[in-house]
């Protein structure tokens, strides 16, 4: 059975979350948007085609959900997303639209021409219908002396206007028609019945924001007091009358003229069937709060008792939420859902949990202005505050979805597979200034896109006395510290606790291992085949004696301890846990985060390696070993595992037996 998910979306604010959801094969996603955008070319096209809502956010969401497996799909996406340059003349724009209307090239613009020749006949036929409808309308308007400015206008918006005209000016039917053309992997629904309203606002100090464009423009720290949906923009006389009033008078005057949109019936159906409802991040006063004013929306959400209802707060303070906090955004969500007191639905019926951005020791962008959170959101036990940031201001969509699915499994007993979204590479460091820079260079260059996951690098310093910590802090990595002397195991455990990925990799900072081997370790976990993988140095080693002699030189004692100590640990693993591990003390390993979280790890030193082996074996987990490259350094060149480390590893096998 598919997992029915409803996501309240804006334009780009929810793109990473939406992409993660739609890429999970168990999810049936419905993205609910409003279409009150009137900025730049979207505002111009709304004025040019009176009665039409703004197509921009519809197009952006549909673009997010377009498949790109085939060449024709990628071509269609490029074609619809293409924007004419600033200053594009009517003649230039129409020189590209007229051949499209005839479904016969060539098109003069190189980008459009390249995409055009890769479209299928079916795609061309439908685009031609849109183009002809638009061009016929455009010519009729020009005959009336009304011209359109094509500068910085997306071709997709023009073709949507044509689709709208071809669909007898039915906005919601036009959305469905475009979604069918684009083979959208999710349902994109306008929240309302499609009636055209315009968005305006009042700031707390009474200043009037005359349109949606003003709402999303740079502002001071005076919060927006309230938004309103009107039949039309105020004319000069009305604006003058409004400005003669005080702040409360303006509020009352606008409330008298405000309209409540009627819902799209498909939206109410999607909400009733949803098992997960997400209030997404984005431009709150433009993309989201206006949606919540729709009649019947709150009632439908409140009536759905089976769904988890999650508010995902913005990471950064966008222009429209200056002066706001996570707490006030939740309060406003509640107020707009209740349509300013028209109904009285408790917040607990609308929102079960909130995901809020916070930074933690060494995390986050130092220059970022995060949405404040004082810890006082309603029902604090239902707030999950952590670092959700992938890049400056952008949510790590995979992490959000992974947490959502974990929540559904725990709270609602919904069977949904984990979403593998990120590899967290933990690099324990102690006095490795000589090799650390080259190791981090290689890790930063590691391309995980072919694995369809993101990556993060977490350096955990164990109290270095050299420049290791300074070198790490100068990189695009997350940096944490343990107390000096706590040990390698303590550093790894701290890295595990701070990781945001659900595949955990431990990679040493001594430049003895090949970064490229990380792919071999994580692939069995990403495929859900294994949950513990060790990179074995022994499998590729042609002569163990030669390698050990290189490392320890003429020291016969260290040679014997290293050779037979490792064998002893392997044999003990077999005898005590029925697992023969060729290289138990390898420092390149990968684990499923869910497995690690069940282990309650305690070891602080090298004995952590054997604690994990013991506890994984007790959980009947098969431990896979894959061959990895290894270029050892000598004992004189850097730290090596000591005799004491070996004894502690053996002791761990006994200590954790039966636990």
What is the pLDDT, as a whole number, of residue 551? 46
For 4-22, how does the pLDDT look when each residue is reduced to its tens digit (9 = 90+)?
999 999 877 899 999 999 9
Q: What is the enclosing helix (H) or strand (E) of 30?
A: strand 27-33
Q: Which residue has the higher pLDDT, 619 or 362?
A: 619
Looking at residue 371, what DSSP letter applies?
P
Is pLDDT at 357 greater than 70 in this prediction? Answer: yes
Query: Which among 468, 473, 502, 508 has a CA at the least distance from the CA of 484?
Result: 468
> Mapped to the 3 state alphabet, what secondary structure does 464-493 carry?
CCCCHHHHHHCCCCEEEECCCCCCHHHHHH
What is the pLDDT, as a whole number, of residue 194? 98
Cis amide prior to 106 (ω within 30 degrees): yes
What is the pLDDT, as a whole number, of residue 362? 47
Is pLDDT at 124 greater than 70 in this prediction? Answer: yes
What residue ranges define each of the domains in the chain, with the CATH number in brackets?
35-190 (no CATH), 198-257 (no CATH), 265-411 (no CATH), 422-655 (3.90.550.10)
Looking at residue 40, what DSSP letter applies?
H
Query: Which among 109, 90, 88 has a CA at the least distance from the CA of 99?
Result: 109
Is pLDDT at 288 greater than 80 in this prediction? Answer: yes
- Percentage of the chain beyond pLDDT 70 is 92
What is the average pLDDT across 527-546? 78
Query: Which among 352, 412, 281 has a CA at the least distance from the CA of 4?
Result: 412
Angle between helices 15-22 and 56-65 (to 10 degrees): 40
Residues 224, 132 contacting (CB under 8 angstroms): no
Is pLDDT at 389 greater than 70 in this prediction? Answer: yes
Band of residue 65 on the pLDDT scale cut at 50, 70, 90: very high
Residues 6+ apart with CB under 8 A from 299: 343, 345
Mean pLDDT of the chain: 91
3-class DSSP state for residue 316? strand
Q: CA-CA distance, 373 to 84, in Å (whole number)?
A: 41
Q: Which two tokens stand for residue 534?
A: 């060790």
Residue 221's Cβ-count burial label (10 Å; 0-12, 13-18, 19+) is exposed
What is the pLDDT, as a whole number, of residue 550? 45
Q: How far is CA 373 from the centre of its chain?
A: 21
Strands (E), 430-587: 454-461, 478-481, 503-506, 532-536
Angle between helices 607-618 and 643-655 (to 10 degrees): 20
What is the pLDDT, as a whole number, of residue 560? 46
Token pair 């970022």 is found at 368
Q: CA-CA distance, 630 to 540, in Å (whole number)?
A: 9
| Long-range Cβ contact pairs of 631-634 (< 8 A, separation 24 or more) | 631/511, 631/512, 631/513, 631/514, 632/512, 632/547, 632/550, 632/551, 633/510, 633/511, 633/512, 633/551, 634/550, 634/551, 634/552, 634/553
Q: Which residue has the higher pLDDT, 317 or 533?
A: 533
For 233-252, how does the pLDDT look when each residue is reduced to its tens digit (9 = 90+)?
999 999 999 999 999 999 99
What is the pLDDT, as a whole number, of residue 537? 86
Is pLDDT at 392 greater than 70 in this prediction? Answer: no
How would DSSP label each residue in 594-650?
A: HHHHTT-----STHHHHHHHHHHHHTT---EEEE--B-PPPTTTS----HHHHHHHH
Q: CA-CA distance, 205 to 209, in Å (whole number)?
A: 12
| Long-range Cβ contact pairs of 340-345 (< 8 A, separation 24 or more) | 340/226, 340/255, 342/260, 343/298, 343/299, 345/298, 345/299, 345/301, 345/302
Q: Which two tokens stand for residue 257?
A: 């003229």
Please list the residues that pair with 32 across neighbouring strands: 8, 189
Q: Which residue has the higher pLDDT, 449 or 555?
A: 449
Q: How far is CA 281 from the centre of its chain?
A: 11
Is pLDDT at 87 greater than 90 in this prediction? Answer: yes
Q: How many CB atoms lie within 10 A of CB 183?
A: 16
- Percentage of the chain beyond pLDDT 90 is 76
Query: Which among 197, 195, 217, 99 has a CA at the least distance from the CA of 155?
Result: 99
What are the φ and ψ backbone dihedral angles of 584, each rounded to 5 degrees? -65, -25
Which has the minimum average pLDDT: 401-405, 409-413, 563-567, 588-592? 563-567
Entry pTM: 0.87
What is the pLDDT, as a whole number, of residue 381? 59
For 25-36, how does the pLDDT look when each residue is reduced to its tens digit (9 = 90+)?
899 999 999 999
Residues 451, 532 contacting (CB under 8 angstroms): no
Band of residue 558 on the pLDDT scale cut at 50, 70, 90: very low
What is the pLDDT, as a whole number, of residue 546? 56
What are the φ and ψ backbone dihedral angles of 515, each rounded to 5 degrees? -55, -35
What is the average pLDDT across 635-653? 72
Query: Which among 499, 480, 483, 494 has a CA at the least distance from the CA of 603?
Result: 494
For 199-220, how does the pLDDT look when each residue is reduced to its tens digit (9 = 90+)?
999 999 999 999 999 999 999 9
């Amino acid at each position: 059975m598919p997992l029915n998910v409803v996501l309240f979306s804006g334009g780009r604010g929810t793109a990473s979350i939406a992409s993660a959801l739609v890429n999970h094969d168990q999810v049936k996603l419905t993205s609910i948007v409003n279409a009150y955008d009137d900025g730049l070319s979207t505002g111009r096209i709304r004025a040019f085609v009176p009665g039409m809502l703004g197509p921009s956010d519809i197009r952006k969401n549909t673009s997010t959900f377009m498949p790109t497996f085939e060449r024709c799909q990628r071509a269609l996406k490029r074609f619809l997303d293409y924007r004419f340059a600033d200053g594009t003349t009517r003649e230039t724009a129409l020189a590209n639209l007229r051949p499209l209307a005839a479904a016969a090239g060539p098109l003069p613009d190189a980008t459009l021409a390249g995409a055009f020749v890769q479209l299928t006949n079916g795609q061309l036929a439908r685009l031609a219908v849109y183009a002809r409808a638009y061009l016929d309308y455009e010519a009729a308007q020009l005959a009336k002396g009304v011209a359109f400015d094509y500068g910085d206008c997306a071709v997709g918006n023009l073709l949507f206007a044509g689709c709208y005209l071809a669909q007898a000016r039915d906005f919601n039917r036009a959305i469905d028609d475009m979604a069918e053309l684009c083979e959208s992997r999710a349902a994109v629904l306008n929240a309302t019945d499609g009636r055209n309203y315009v968005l305006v606002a009042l700031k707390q100090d009474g200043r009037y924001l005359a349109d949606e464009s003003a709402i999303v423009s740079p502002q001071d720290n005076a919060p927006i007091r309230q938004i309103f949906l009107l039949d039309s923009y105020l004319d000069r006389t009305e604006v003058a009358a409004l400005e003669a009033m005080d702040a409360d008078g303006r509020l009352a005057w606008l409330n008298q003229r405000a309209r409540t949109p009627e819902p799209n019936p498909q939206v109410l159906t999607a909400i009733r069937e949803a098992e997960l409802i997400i209030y997404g991040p984005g431009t709150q006063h433009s993309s989201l709060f206006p949606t919540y004013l729709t009649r019947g929306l709150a009632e439908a959400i409140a009536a759905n008792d089976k769904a988890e209802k999650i508010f995902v707060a913005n990471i950064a303070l966008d222009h429209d939420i200056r002066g706001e906090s996570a707490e006030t955004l939740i309060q406003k969500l509640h107020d707009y859902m209740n349509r300013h007191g028209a109904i009285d639905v408790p917040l607990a019926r609308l929102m079960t949990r909130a995901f809020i951005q916070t930074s933690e020791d060494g995390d986050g962008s130092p220059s970022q202005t995060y949405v404040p959170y004082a810890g006082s959101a309603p029902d604090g036990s239902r707030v999950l505050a952590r670092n959700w940031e992938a890049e400056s201001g952008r949510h790590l969509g995979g992490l959000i979805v992974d947490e959502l699915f974990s929540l559904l499994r725990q709270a609602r007993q919904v069977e949904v597979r984990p979403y593998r979204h990120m590899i967290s590479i933990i690099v324990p460091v102690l006095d490795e200034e000589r090799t650390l820079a080259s190791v981090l260079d290689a890790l930063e260059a590691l391309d995980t896109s072919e694995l369809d996951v993101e990556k993060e690098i977490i350096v955990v310093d164990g109290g270095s006395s050299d420049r290791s910590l300074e070198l790490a802090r100068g990189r695009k990595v997350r940096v944490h510290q343990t107390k000096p002397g706590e040990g390698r195991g303590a550093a790894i455990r701290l890295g595990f606790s701070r990781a945001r990925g659900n595949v955990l990799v431990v990679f040493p900072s001594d430049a003895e291992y090949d970064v490229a081997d990380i792919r071999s370790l994580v692939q069995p976990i990403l495929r859900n085949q294994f949950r513990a993988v060790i990179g074995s140095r022994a499998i590729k080693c042609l002569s163990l004696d030669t390698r050990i002699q290189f490392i320890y030189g003429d020291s016969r004692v260290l040679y014997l301890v290293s050779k037979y100590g490792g064998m002893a640990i392997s044999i003990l693993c077999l005898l005590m846990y029925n697992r023969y591990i060729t290289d138990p003390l390898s420092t390149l390993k990968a684990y499923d985060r869910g497995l690690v979280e069940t282990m309650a790890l305690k070891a602080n030193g090298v004995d952590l390696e054997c604690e994990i082996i013991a506890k994984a074996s007790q959980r009947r987990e098969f431990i896979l070993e894959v061959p990895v490259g290894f270029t050892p350094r000598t004992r004189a060149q850097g730290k090596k595992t000591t005799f004491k480390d070996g004894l502690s590893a053996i002791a761990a096998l006994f200590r954790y037996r039966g636990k």
